[in-house]
Every structure is written in C-alpha cells, then in structure tokens.
Amino acid sequence: DVKVTQSSRYLVKRTGEKVFLECVQDMDHENMFWYRQDPGLGLRLIYFSYDVKMKEKGDIPEGYSVSREKKERFSLILESASTNQTSMYLCASRGRGAYNSPLHFGNGTRLTVT
Amino acid sequence: TQLLEQSPQFLSIQEGENLTVYCNSSSVFSSLQWYRQEPGEGPVLLVTVVTGGEVKKLKRLTFQFGDARKDSSLHITAAQTGDTGLYLCAGAALNTDKLIFGTGTRLQVFP
C-alpha cells in the first residue's frame, strides 16, 4: 500500500512565523501535490511537482512556496504565516502517467495561525 | 476556473435509507473520481469513471458519469453507519493533469 506521511497532525503558529509542512511518500511516485481543505470549498490546489526540483503553481499559490529536493519528499513553506492560512493541509502523491490514476493522500496537518 | 458543485452540502439520514449525491459542472471533464474522507484521515479513492454515461457499482454504491461528461452522481442504497464521511468528487480537466475537486457532501448516517 502507498503510504503518504505528513510530519505533523496539528500545528499552532503565530502570525509572521515561517512554517514548514513536510510530506514523505514511499512509493517512488513522480507527482506530488499540496492542497488546502476548507469547509464548503472542497480541496484547492496550492502547488504540485512532477519531478525532483520541479514545481508548478496551483490555483492558490499566493503566500506559499514549495521545495522538492528528493523524490520522496515535498515540503510546503509559509514564508510569513497569516491568520487566513489557518486550514487543513493535505499532501498527495500519484504515479507517472494517466491523469485518472488515484491520488494517495496523507492524513493532513491542521494548522492554526494565531 | 472550472467549478464542481456538489449537492447537498450536508445530509443526515437513518440507517437503511437511500440517498443520492450530485456533482455538477458547466465544464467537460476527461474523467471523474469519487473520494470518501473519514474524520482524521485523508480522502480515499472510491471509483473513477471515464466514459460518458458510464455506470459503476461498488457494493451498495452506484456511480454514474453524465452523458456529456459534465456531471456525476453517487447513489447509496440502504445506507449504513460505516458510510458516514465526507464525499468528494474530482474531475480531471481537459488537456491538463490537474484534478478539480468538488465542494464536498458531508453524510451522517444514524443507527
């Protein structure tokens, strides 16, 4: 089974702090994604990466950056956290090829910015 | 921006009842996936439908992709408490490899 592990289940940070959310997958997947999940809005794509050191902006990249130095690890960075970034963050991975392959998700990191 | 609207947003029913969740868009999708998310976990894929008009069954769950590939439905027969969760549809946008997620339907099944 594919396992996607997010390093923290809960995080509480202060406004202006730099925040790192880490995600590791163990199935040698090329594609990795960061989403945020808010009630009534579904999942919105922040950034994705289709290879090491490659990144693409999703639908809501403002205020975020990412890093993918190794294939198995994809990090989401909040350069200066703000209260409107309080949310559930989900990391996902997918193998190369078909767009209709399943996304494999981690269990999420609930971030609160005070 | 392509949007996927799900209805209803919330559904609270008793065990044994039937229900249908709808996923609608004005855009055409290459394929559509349905995920279920339980509390404290990430979404898990239930099914992928690819062809317009396609119907897939997964035990008591029946999924249908609209003929024009713009909408989909999920029907649950004789709901059980184990069906409780957040149901998300996700469409694969044409000519990209991005998934557009729906707004979600939160289902609560009471014993």
CA dist., res. A51 & res. B97, Å (int) = 14
User: Does residue B3 surpass a pLDDT of 80?
Assistant: no
Name the average pLDDT for chain B: 93
Q: What is the pLDDT of residue A44?
A: 93
Report whether the peptide linkage leading into residue B8 is cis, meaning its omega lies within 30 degrees of zero: yes
| Residue of B58, B109, B66, B108 lying closest to B91 (CA atoms) | B66
Question: What proportion of chain A, given as a percentage, has pLDDT over 70?
Answer: 96
| Residue of A101, A98, A88, A93 lying closest to A74 (CA atoms) | A93
| Residues on chain B bordering chain A, Cβ-to-Cβ distance under 8 angstroms | 1, 4, 6, 9, 30-31, 33, 35, 40-45, 48, 50, 88, 90, 92, 96-99, 101-104
Residue contact A102–B103, C-beta within 8 A: no
Residue B27 CB neighbour total at 10 angstroms:
14
Q: Which chain A residue's Cα is nearest to B88? A: A42
Q: Which chain B residue's Cα is nearest to A48? A: B98
Neighboring chain A residues of B96 at a CB cutoff of 8 Å = 99
Cβ-based burial of A15 (10 A; exposed 0-12, middle 13-18, buried ≥19): exposed
Residue contact B98–A90, C-beta within 8 A: no
CA dist., res. A43 & res. A51, Å (int) = 22
User: Does residue B96 surpass a pLDDT of 80?
Assistant: no
The residue type found at B82 is G
| Residues on chain A bordering chain B, Cβ-to-Cβ distance under 8 angstroms | 4, 31, 35, 39-45, 48, 50, 58-59, 90, 92, 99-100, 102-103, 105-108
What is the rounded average pLDDT of the residues B78-106? 90
Q: What is the pLDDT of residue B1?
A: 56
Count contacts between A and B (CB, < 8 Å).
60
pLDDT digits over B73-91, tens only?
Answer: 999 999 999 999 999 999 9
Q: What is the pLDDT of residue B2?
A: 61
Q: What is the pLDDT of residue A22?
A: 97
Q: What is the pLDDT of residue A100?
A: 73
Neighboring chain B residues of A42 at a CB cutoff of 8 Å = 4, 6, 88, 101-104
CA dist., res. B109 & res. A14, Å (int) = 38
* Nearest CB to A102 within list B9, B30, B45: B45
pLDDT digits over B4-60, tens only?
Answer: 899 999 999 999 999 999 999 999 999 999 999 998 899 999 999 999 999 999 999
User: Does residue A72 surpass a pLDDT of 80?
Assistant: yes
Sign of CA dihedral A95, A100, A104, A107: positive
